[in-house]
Amino acid sequence: MDPAHAFVSQVRAEFLRRTPAGTDTFGAVHANLVTELFLLLALAAAGLALFERLRLPSIAGFLVVGAVAGPGGLGLVGEPERVRTLAELGVVFLLFEIGLELPLERLKRLWRAALIGGSLQVGLTVTAVAFGARALGVQGPEAWVLGALVAMSSTALVMRLLAERGQIDSPHGQLVLAILLFQDFCILPFLLAVPLLAGDAAQSPWLVLGTIGRAVAAAGLLIVGFRYVVPVLLDRAARLRSPDLFSLLAIALVVGSAVVAEEIGLTLAVGAFLAGVVTGSSPYSAQLFAEVGPVRGVLLGLFFTAVGMLFAPAEAVAHAGAVLAYVGAAVGAKALLIALIVAFGLRRGLRLGVMSGLALAQTGEFSFVLAAAAGGAGILSDDRTQVFVAGSVLSLLATPFLMNQAPRLANALTRFDPPVPDPLPETAGELSDHTVLIGFGLAGRTLARILTALERPYVGVDANAHVRQNAASIGQQVLYGDATRTAVLEHLGVARARLVVVTISDPVGTRHVVSAVRALAPEVVIVARTRYVLEVDALEAAGADLVVAEELESTIDVLSRVLQIHSVPEDAVHRFAAALREEGYEPIRAASSFGLDPWLLEVLSERATQWVTVPDEFPSAVSIGALDVRARSGVNVLAVERDGAQTVNPPPQFAIRARDRLLVLGDASAVARLQELLAEAAGPGSPS
C-alpha cells in the first residue's frame, strides 16, 4: 500500500474508532453521490481560483486539484468514476456548442482536412506506436490498443483552450477541429475492434463492417430528425414565451441527442455535435447557445477534476520509465507526426503544422473509454492501464503550456523552412506603390474586387493552397505562401508597397506578420483586422497603423443605431463614429468608471442636418408658420421633399402635409422637439 493510501486508511480507522457504533459517517459520505458531487464542485472552484490567481491555465488547475484530492492523493473522493460519468456530460455540451457555432457551409469546407489529415494522423499514429511497442516487447493486440490510445486527442481540452484564446476560427484552429472530428468518429470502429483483438470468434470483420454501416445510416436518420423535427419543437416552445420551458427543452435536446446517438451505435459526443451543427442554422441557435453555455462550463470543470483524480502518484513513480515513454510517444512523436502531415500532406506550411501538432499532443477523453473496454476484454494489463492513466493525465496537464509556447517554437522553426512562394506573374514582378493583401478570405477577395475596379495594382497571398487556386481561377492575383516568413514578404514587395492589409484569422500570426512587415518596410501603411478588442494594443505595438477590431466595430454599429433612434442627427452620428475610430477606439475601450470625454459629447450636440418624416396622421395641410416650428423646436427647415420634388428654403406660409420629408438643421434635442411637435399636431393616436 502506498503512503497516501496508508495515511487515509489510518485516518479513517481512527475516525471510526471515535464514532459511536452503527454510525459509519465516513463510509456514508463516500457512498453518497450528492456529497461526492459537492466535493467535486468545491475542488473545481478551488482549483480554478488558485490557478487564476497564479495566472496559469484553468484546466491545469482542475487536473492538479483532482489528482491531489483523488484516491491516489488525499482520498477525499473514494469513487470518482461515479461522478465522472456525470461530468462526461460536459464533453457532450461542449460538442453541441461547437456544432452550433459551426455552420454547415464551413463544415463542408473542413471535410478534406478531416478525411485526409485525420486518416493520416490516426492511421500513422496507431501503426507507429504499435510497432514501437512491439519492439519493446509488448504483445501484438496490446500494442495495437496502445497505438489507438495514443492516436486519440482531447476534444474537450483543446477546443476549450482554443476558445479561450479566440483561435477556433484561426487556420490552425480549423485544422485541429477537423482532425479532432475524425478522431471522435474513429472511436466506434476502435471499440468494435476490441473483441476481434481479444480473439472473440463471434465478432467477425464482416460483422464489424456491418455495424459501422448501420451506424452511418443511423447518423443520417439522426440528422434528418434534427433538421425537420427539432425546429418544430423549438418553434412551439418559443411561441409559448416560457423561458423555463425553452431552457428545459434546450437541455433535453443536448442530452437526448447524445443518448439517442449512443443507442444507435454512435458516441455521445458525436450525437451532440451533429445536433449542434444541424440546429445551428435555425433561428433559435443564439438562444440555445445562451442556455447551454453555463451548464457546459460547470460540467467541464467537473470532468477535468474527475480525470485528475485518476492519477495515482505512487503508481506513476513505480512505473516512471514506462510513463515517460508513453508521454514521449503521445507528446513528442505524435506532435512531430501531425506537424509533418499538416505541413506536407495538407500543404499548409510548417508553422501551422507545429501549432496543430502541439495542440493535439495529448491523450483524449475517449481513450479512457477505449482503455476500459480493452482492460475488460483482457487485452490491456493492469500495469499498462496504470501507465496509460498516469501518462495521459501528464499529457493533458502539459497541453496548455505547450499551446502557449507553440507560436514561439513555430516561428523559430520556420526560419529553416525553405521559401516556396509562387512566382509573381509577369505583370506584377516589379510592382511598386501597390497594395499587399495578406489573407484571401471574404475580406481579401472583396478588397481585390474593389481594387481591380479602381484599376489599382495589388497582389495577395494565402497559406491555403485551395483558397489560392480558387481565387486564381477567376483571375484574382493571389499567391500561395506563409506570410509570417520574411522571404515571402520580400517576394511580395512590401518594401515598395503603398499599403499592406492583414486579414488572416490567426491572432498570433497577425501580430507576427505586422511585426515582420514593419521591420522590412518602416514607412508602409499597415492595416490589420482582428476579431477581439484584446488584440488592438498588441497589434499597434507590433507596428500597425490602423487596427480594425470586429468586436469594436459591431459596438460602434450598435451605438450608431441607438443614437439614431434617439433622434441624434445622422451627420452627428457619423462624426461621432469617425471620432471613435480616429482615437483607436480608446473612448469605448476605457474603464466603465471613466465618463465619456466632453469633446465627444460636443460632437453629438453639434448642430447638423437631418431628414424628418411627417407622420401619416398629420392634418391635410398646416403651414410652417402656424406650427411656429423654429420658436417651439429650435430647428431651421432647409427644404421640404414631396413626391420626389424639393422646395428649398420654404417660406412660413408653406403648408406641410403627411409623409413630407423635412430637411432640418439643429442639434439632437431640437430635432427631438420637432418630432414631438409633429406628433402632437397629428393627434394622440400618432406615433411619436
For the chain, what percentages of helix, strand and coil (3-state, to nearest 5) are there? 65, 10, 25
Task: Tell me how far apart the alpha carbons of residues 475 and 107 are, in angstroms, rounded to a whole number.
Answer: 26
Task: Tell me how far apart the alpha carbons of residues 421 and 461 are, in angstroms, rounded to a whole number.
Answer: 9
Q: Are 311 and 393 in contact (CB under 8 A)?
A: yes
Task: Tell me how far apart the alpha carbons of residues 555 and 534 are, in angstroms, rounded to a whole number.
Answer: 14
Handedness of CA 88, 171, 166, 284 (dihedral sign): negative
Which residues, 6 or more positions from 660, have their beta carbon under 8 angstroms from its beta carbon?
613, 614, 640, 641, 642
Burial of residue 467 (CB within 10 Å: 0-12, 13-18, 19+) is buried
With respect to residue 419, please indicate whether it lies within any of the assigned structural domains: no
Kindly state whether residues 23 and 143 are assigned to the same domain. Answer: no
Give the DSSP H or E segment for 187.
helix 171-197
Q: Within 10 Å of residue 568's Cβ, how many Cβ atoms?
A: 22
Q: Which residues of the chain have pLDDT under 50?
A: 1-31, 201, 418-422, 424-429, 591-594, 685-688
Query: What number of H helices and E strands is found in the chain?
Result: 34, 12
Q: Decide which of 524, 544, 564 is a domain's last residue.
A: 544
Q: Are 308 and 109 in contact (CB under 8 A)?
A: no
Q: What is the DSSP letter of 616?
A: T
Domain CATH code at residue 625: 3.30.70.1450
Closest CA to 402 of 365, 355, 443: 355
Q: Are 255 and 210 in contact (CB under 8 A)?
A: no
Which residues, 6 or more positions from 459, have their beta carbon under 8 angstroms from its beta carbon?
424, 428, 431, 434, 435, 436, 437, 477, 478, 479, 492, 493
Backbone angles phi, psi at 414, to 5 degrees: -70, -10
With respect to residue 578, please indicate whether it lies within any of the assigned structural domains: no
Kindly state whether residues 408 and 452 are assigned to the same domain. Answer: no
Residue found by looking up cell 403627411 in the block = 658
Domain CATH code at residue 529: 3.40.50.720
Kindly state whether residues 388 and 460 are assigned to the same domain. Answer: no
With respect to residue 342, please indicate whether it lies within any of the assigned structural domains: yes
643-to-178, 329, 549, 657, 660 alpha-carbon distances in Å: 57, 77, 42, 11, 8
Kindly state whether residues 70 and 91 are assigned to the same domain. Answer: no
With respect to residue 338, please indicate whether it lies within any of the assigned structural domains: yes
Kindly state whether residues 190 and 289 are assigned to the same domain. Answer: yes
Continuous H helices in 348-478 = 350-359, 365-376, 382-413, 442-453, 465-473
Dihedral angle at the C-alpha atoms of 341, 347, 348, 349, nearest 10 degrees?
A: 80
Kindly state whether residues 539 and 622 are assigned to the same domain. Answer: no
- HEC profile of 620-663: CCEEHHHHCHHHHHCCEEEEEEECCEEEECCCCCCEECCCCEEE
Kindly state whether residues 191 and 255 are assigned to the same domain. Answer: yes
Kindly state whether residues 123 and 68 are assigned to the same domain. Answer: no
Closest CA to 463 of 425, 496, 512, 430: 512
Q: What is the reported pTM?
A: 0.59
Closest CA to 121 of 75, 62, 179, 168: 179
Q: Decide which of 23, 57, 82 is a domain's last residue.
A: 82
C-alpha cell at 550: 470586429
Q: Are 292 and 97 in contact (CB under 8 A)?
A: yes
With respect to residue 553, please indicate whether it lies within any of the assigned structural domains: no
Parallel/antiparallel/unpaired status of strands 608-613 and 661-666: antiparallel
C-alpha cell at 483: 506570410
Q: Within 10 Å of residue 472's Cβ, how many Cβ atoms?
A: 17
Q: Are 615 and 687 in contact (CB under 8 A)?
A: yes
Predicted pLDDT of residue 19? 44
Q: Which domain holds residue 370?
A: 83-412
E strands present in 158-220? none
- What's the one-letter identity of residue 75? G
Closest CA to 580 of 564, 557, 606, 561: 557
Predicted pLDDT of residue 84? 60
484-to-396, 464, 489, 504, 634 alpha-carbon distances in Å: 29, 13, 8, 11, 58
Counting the structural domains of the chain, the total is: 4
Q: Are 272 and 251 in contact (CB under 8 A)?
A: no
Burial of residue 152 (CB within 10 Å: 0-12, 13-18, 19+) is buried
With respect to residue 593, please indicate whether it lies within any of the assigned structural domains: no
Q: Decide which of 34, 52, 82 is a domain's last residue.
A: 82
With respect to residue 421, please indicate whether it lies within any of the assigned structural domains: no
Backbone angles phi, psi at 462, to 5 degrees: -150, 145
Kindly state whether residues 304 and 170 are assigned to the same domain. Answer: yes
Kindly state whether residues 158 and 248 are assigned to the same domain. Answer: yes
Q: Are 175 and 153 in contact (CB under 8 A)?
A: no
Parallel/antiparallel/unpaired status of strands 525-530 and 478-480: unpaired
Q: Are 475 and 451 in contact (CB under 8 A)?
A: no
Predicted pLDDT of residue 184? 77
With respect to residue 226, please indicate whether it lies within any of the assigned structural domains: yes
Task: Tell me how far apart the alpha carbons of residues 660 and 638 are, in angstroms, rounded to a whole number.
Answer: 13
Which residues, 6 or more positions from 108, have their beta carbon under 8 angstroms from its beta carbon?
none
Kindly state whether residues 94 and 78 are assigned to the same domain. Answer: no
Predicted pLDDT of residue 607? 62
Continuous H helices in 54-170 = 58-69, 80-87, 89-100, 104-112, 118-135, 140-151, 155-165
Kindly state whether residues 66 and 103 are assigned to the same domain. Answer: no
- pLDDT tens, residue by residue, 227-245: 777 777 777 777 777 777 7
Predicted pLDDT of residue 386? 80
Domain CATH code at residue 338: 1.20.1530.20
Predicted pLDDT of residue 10? 45
